[in-house]
Structures are given as structure tokens and as C-alpha cells.
Structure 1
Amino acid sequence: MTCPFHAGLYYLGEGKGWARKFTEDDSREGIIKALNETSYGKCVFRSNNDVVDHQVDNMEFEDGATATFSMSGFTREQTRMVQIMGTKSEIRGNMEGNSISIYDFLTKHETIIRFDNPVGGHGGGDNGIVRSFLRGIDNVGVNENISSAAVSFRSHLMAFAAEESRVNKGKSLKGVVFLVEFKS
């Protein structure tokens, strides 16, 4: 096998935990059987799979702030990283490393905050969203929380607009999508 993305190499090796997505039998034999019987064993380069494998989105907000979302399926680390750059400091988060780094541009001092290993999906985020949702039920009308329908709608709208831009980049103004027009 010379393909670095061969399903068997991945799901029988470092990605063994992900095999639970397509089989309940995570023994070597069970995974091989499922790879032979499901689309998870197909070569992504020789199938009708059209899932995005890389994407860059630039966003500009009404207050002038900008954000860039960059995703690639072809990286050494299969994790989520966040980098926030301000005028005085930079914050970097690494989901796999369970850490946040704060770097002060003036003092050149870096503070690293490490977290306990997360429990649950999405680096523990799934449990946090459920907790927030339940707190929101207890405090209806008090404040909008991170799992409210309004916040969820806005974040999903941004994701749908990014996908619209990616899919139709040649059909519109160079892929530009105005959120105010998109949601109508």
C-alpha cells in the first residue's frame, strides 16, 4: 500500500477509534469486514465522494473585525486549532494538546494554560453545549447562551454561507456571499 490515505491503514492504525462510525465490531476482523462492505473502504480518489477536503473562508464583520477559517483534510495533526490575533497579544488553542497559549507582543511573555483530558465528543465541547442548553432552560429569558437557538442559527448560517461561497465561487462575485442577503 503506497497511498498515505488508505482506509485500511488508517482505521486499523491511528484511526481505530473512528471505525466505530461504521462498525460496532472494532476488532481487526470486524473493521476489515466493514471496510469491505461499506463505503468507508472505498478510495476517496476513486469514488463519487465530493466532500470538501480543503477550504479557506475570509469573513468580514460589520464592526470591521475579520476572521479566516482554514480547513484541510491533509495535515499531520488531525485536530482543531484556533489562532486569535489582536493588537496586544495572540491566543492559540490546540484541541489535541488540550491547551491555550497567550502571547503578549510587548513583553514577549507566553502563558500556557493546560486543561484536563476532555470527556466526550468534540474535545468535550458536546458536553459543554448540553450543559449550557440545560442552564438556558433554567434561565429562560435571562441571557442568550452559547447553545440558544438564536446563536445556533447564526453560526449555522455562517457555515451555510461559507459552503455557498465554496460551491458557487465561479458563479457569483468571486464567491462573495453577503450574510444579510443570504438569510433572506
Structure 2
Amino acid sequence: MSPVIPPDHPIRELFSNAVNDAFRRRSDLYSPEIASHLSEEMLPGFVHVDHIYRLRSLGGKPLRALPGMIDCAAGKEGPERNFEVNLYIGDFVLFMCSFFPTLVRSESRRAPTAMVSRVGGIIVSFSEPLEYYVAEGRNAYNRAARTAAAFDPSSRETCRKLSEKLESYLEVLRMVKSYLEKSAMPGGRGGVIF
């Protein structure tokens, strides 16, 4: 559970309702583990802006660019930390590409780093930032799944599924965003504004 939002906070119920609503429409993608991960871990973990960019450089500054995050994931800090960083990168990609795709496009276009990623066994250069993010999100979830195999089989399966069907889960999160936006409207279910 995310340390940011208390377990009994009403926003957790809102996130759970939003995720369940999205999976009712995409029942082919539903798994209890993924629904739980999205509503109890990922979404609460990104509520506060200071937690969106929670990875830090060696100098202690927040890493805002995806290439820096990927470099952080390559560190030799042990399997648990490796899993945590790669899971965060996958979740970051899923969150940013579904909730803030325009920001991803604009931030990535200003980045001086080439958008190059390994897709299968091939190195691919991307011109579209969202495609680059999706490729790196898939890679991060895949690395997290491989690392989790040693100490957390249930997380391994969740990460494997997220890696294999990342584009489909982006669609699910876009439905969650839509639900939350409707909740923020007058007469809606809550007061969340994006």
C-alpha cells in the first residue's frame, strides 16, 4: 500500500470504483492482482506531485526524464531495489501516458537524449515520445517481472501481464481518468480534478 494516502482515505474507494468500472468494460484484461495494483498502489502513489518524480539522482535531485530513470534502474543495488525501481518506471509510464499524454509529448520533445529503446532483440529509434515511453514501460515491467521471480511470484505475474499488454492497460487507465473527471463534475461522485 502506498505510504502517501492513509488506508481509510475516501480517495482509495474512488480509485477502486474507477478501476472496477474500467474493468467492467474491459473484462478481458481483468485480474484481481492488476486491479489491486492499479487502485491500491499505483494511483495512490501518484496523487502527490512530489511522489510522481520520486526517483532521485546521486545528487538528490528528482529524476524527471525517462532516460535518467532507466539509468537509475541499471544500478547495482540488489534485487529488491531493482524490482522497486523498474516497477516504478513501468507505473510512471502507465500513469503519465494515460493521464497526461500531452505532457509526455512536450517534455520528451525538449529532451536532448535520443529516444532509443530495445524492442525484442532490436534497437529502435523513436520519433514519437509516447511510443518510446510505451516501449520503455514494457521493458521496465519485464525487468521487474524477471527480478520478482526470485522473491515475489505474485508480483512477477502482475508485471508480466502489464508488460505484455501495456497498450491495453493504457486504455484501461484512460477509462479510469474519464471516470475520475466525471466524478469531479457538478453532480459527480467526488471532487477530483485533473
Same fold (TM over 0.5): no
| Greater relative CO (CA pairs within 8 A, separation 6+) | 2
Structure (1/2) with the larger strand percentage: 1
User: Based on CA coordinates, which of the two structures has the bigger radius of gyration?
Assistant: 1
TM-score by length of 1: 0.28
